């Protein structure tokens, strides 16, 4: 089979530029896995092709075949779990990373993936537990460690354990002070709690400098200004967010309505609240705001 794998490797490189060879390559891959149904290598090769060609569901099936025949290769598990992440299948991601952790208990990436899955499934306590357990295994990889701390901060925030959440964000920023996503998320959570607004404003301003024209970052900055009663400036920033794709986000459109309301534009505000309701993905208070025609 090794010679055949070599041939398929050549096809892999050739089909990067010549897509006409693709159908032939897939025919050969099918022949390869039929001729060697008990060898993981053929299925791994097929999975790599499918993954590259963005055929995620099929790729994942081939990765499952691979680990069923040979569960000893961490890279294959990693690709399998990543494919579920791409597919937003967090239940599969949680299940497979748990199995993989039994086999590779020192791999920090698996703790991170399991934590992301639990957090996405709203199992916040499980997320906190597995991420805390795995943190020590990510310390040699600064990028991974920062990612893990960021997800941990999010999970703590979801549990309303705000001190732990802030501490995790601070730890992450110590290692990566110019990470725009972490600067944004930390400042947004502070703005929702109406706490440490000066620090939040600084961090949010920085994230917008690092990554301009990012609707969610502009929305965060607008919301901090709103919490500081700087409604004119908040309006300026929420309009930037709306111009950069924010008009598709219920949260951002709702914020726009709140800012308009504070500026005395009640009718326009209610219009935006109704638009946010249509979009979904808004605050729990929104229906009450519409009903009462005012802010709580």
pLDDT of 19 reads 85
pLDDT of 145 reads 98
pLDDT digits (tens, 9 = 90+) for 7-27: 999 999 999 988 889 999 999
Domains of the chain: 1-70 (1.25.40), 178-296 (1.25.40.10)
Going from the C-alpha of 143 to that of each of 127, 128, 134, the distances in angstroms are 19, 19, 14
Residue 1 — pLDDT band, cuts 50, 70, 90? Answer: confident
pLDDT of 2 reads 86
Going from the C-alpha of 255 to that of each of 111, 119, 197, the distances in angstroms are 35, 25, 17
Average pLDDT of the chain is 97
pLDDT of 18 reads 87
Whole-structure pTM value: 0.91
Q: Is the pLDDT of residue 209 over 90?
A: yes
pLDDT digits (tens, 9 = 90+) for 30-53: 999 999 999 999 999 999 999 999
The percent of residues above 70 in pLDDT, for the chain, comes to: 100
Report yes or no: 233 and 201 within 8 Å, Cβ to Cβ: no
Number of Cβ within 10 Å of residue 116's Cβ equals: 24
What is the rounded CA–CA span in Å between residue 264 and residue 276? 19
Contact residues for 6 (Cβ-Cβ < 8 A; gap 6+) = none
């Amino acid at each position: 089979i090794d010679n055949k794998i070599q041939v398929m490797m050549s096809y892999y490189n050739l089909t990067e530029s010549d897509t006409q060879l693709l159908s032939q390559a897939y025919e050969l891959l099918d022949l390869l896995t039929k001729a060697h149904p008990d060898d993981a290598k053929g299925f791994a090769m097929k999975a790599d092709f499918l993954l590259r060609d963005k055929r995620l569901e099929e790729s994942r099936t081939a990765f499952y075949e691979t680990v069923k025949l040979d569960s000893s290769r961490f890279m294959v598990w990693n690709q399998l779990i990543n494919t579920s992440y791409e597919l937003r299948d967090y239940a599969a991601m949680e299940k497979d990373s748990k199995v993989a952790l039994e086999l590779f208990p020192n791999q920090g990436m698996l703790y991170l993936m399991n934590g992301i899955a639990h957090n996405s499934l709203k199992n916040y306590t499980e997320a906190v537990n597995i991420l805390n357990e795995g943190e020590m295994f990510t310390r040699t990889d600064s990028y991974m460690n920062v990612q893990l701390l960021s997800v941990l901060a999010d999970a703590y925030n979801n549990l309303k354990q705000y001190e732990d959440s802030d501490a995790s964000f601070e730890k992450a920023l110590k290692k990566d002070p110019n990470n725009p996503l972490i600067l944004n998320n930390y400042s947004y959570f502070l703005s929702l709690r109406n706490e440490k607004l000066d620090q939040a404003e600084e961090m949010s301003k920085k994230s917008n400098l690092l990554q301009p024209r990012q609707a969610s970052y502009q929305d965060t900055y607008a919301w901090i200004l709103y919490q500081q009663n700087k409604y004119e400036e908040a309006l300026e920033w929420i309009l930037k967010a709306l111009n950069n794709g924010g008009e598709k986000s219920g949260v951002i459109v709702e914020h726009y309505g709140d800012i308009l309301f504070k500026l005395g534009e009640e009718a326009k505000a209610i219009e935006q609240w109704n638009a946010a309701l249509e979009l979904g993905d808004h605050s729990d208070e929104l229906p009450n705001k519409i009903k009462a025609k005012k802010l709580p």
